[in-house]
Structure 1
Amino acid sequence: MSAYLRLRAVPPPALRNSANWLERCFEGDAKTVRRYRDQERIYAGVPPHPPVRCRPGAQVVLGGRPVFRADRHRPPFLVLTAAQTRRVAGFLAAADFDALWDFARDALLPRYGGTAAESETWGAFAAAHQELRAFYARTAEHGDAVVKWLPEA
């Protein structure tokens, strides 16, 4: 996964199925860039709440309908509908971060300095979790969709 993820809330009536339009959504807004390297590992392996059929855990970071660019070598944009955004927000609101961490811990720690750096690593992932939780909660509250861009590293 790219080291960076850009997120944008978009009202559903304004959303366009055009890679050019989606790219313009992010122009000149460096504030949307966040580091979420490996964050998807926190959500990918834990059974989601609500039931598996909704799969909101898998949607948090890398989920969404791809909108491909003309240059297929560049990563696509990912779009979550307003309904999917609400499910992700609900999943994150109910998620126990410590349980998520416990499940992903063994895969993540070797990449971030091992057990000696566990406190710092846990803190970074917990902060990113809270940031994602707040973003999705605000976005769902407004009834917006989410557009994701994984810029090339």
Structure 2
Amino acid sequence: MSIHMHMRAVAESEIRDDHTWLAAFMGEAWENYPDEHAGGIATAIDKVWGSVNDLYAAADVLDADAGRLWTLPIYGGRPVAHSADADPSNPPLGILEPSGVSQAAGFLASVSFDELWNVASAKPVWSGGDEAQVRREFLDHHRDLQGFYGRAAAAGHAVIRAVWA
């Protein structure tokens, strides 16, 4: 089974705080994902987004003043509740407002992936795979998130998050 966390940058003024509307918006964005990813306004992480979040949690060990900003790139923002008439099969959705996007971008720009990896590798963030290969995969996710959040913050955008199964 394929499952992804999909993130899409969008001007806050274009967002309707309505689960049904957001699910339709994100569904269309998912259909256009290759073009939107190439355009720098979307990114996705496959099944391992929880482990990517665990990698960022190592920032708490590295810097007592981290202020838990590491949660913003993966789980940041607020959930959008289903309306009473929403299709229950619609994905879980969340919105990270522009101020949170800026905080996430700042965290990602300032954190050292190597230091995170060294701290996190003391706790297995991978499950029995080749560590060098897993490290490359996580570094790719990190670089992608750095670019995505950096562009979104520079544009003053919010980020909508959906989980697709």
Equivalent residues in 2 for 1:79-118 (5 A)? Answer: 79-105=95-121, 106-109=123-126, 111-113=127-129, 117-118=130-131
* TM-score (normalizing by structure 1): 0.83
Alpha-carbon offset, residue 75 of structure 1 = 4.8
Q: Aligned residue for 1:30?
A: 33
- Matched residue count: 146
Matches of 1:125 and 1:82, distance apart in 2: 25
SS at structure 2 position matched to 1:60: helix
Deviations 1:15-73 (A, max 9, x none): 111111111222122334623412111112422869344x3201111221000224567
Query: Which residue of the other structure, out of 90, 93, 101, is the alignment partner of 1:77?
Result: 93
Equivalent residues in 2 for 1:1-150 (5 A)? Answer: 3-26=3-26, 27=28, 28-31=31-34, 32=42, 34-36=44-46, 37=48, 38-47=51-60, 51-53=65-67, 55-69=68-82, 70=86, 75-105=91-121, 106-109=123-126, 111-113=127-129, 117-150=130-163
Alpha-carbon offset, residue 135 of structure 1 = 0.1
Alpha-carbon offset, residue 142 of structure 1 = 0.2
Query: Contact 2:9–2:152 at 8 Å: present in 1 too?
Result: yes
Alpha-carbon offset, residue 103 of structure 1 = 2.1
* TM-score (normalizing by structure 2): 0.78
Unaligned runs of 5+ in 2: 35-41
Query: Contact 2:7–2:161 at 8 Å: present in 1 too?
Result: yes
Query: Contact 2:43–2:148 at 8 Å: present in 1 too?
Result: no
Q: 1:135 to 1:16 in 2, by over 3 A?
A: same
SS at structure 1 position matched to 2:17: coil
Q: CA RMSD in A?
A: 2.3
Pick which of 33-42 and 82-91 moved more. 33-42
Alpha-carbon offset, residue 76 of structure 1 = 2.3
Unaligned runs of 5+ in 1: none
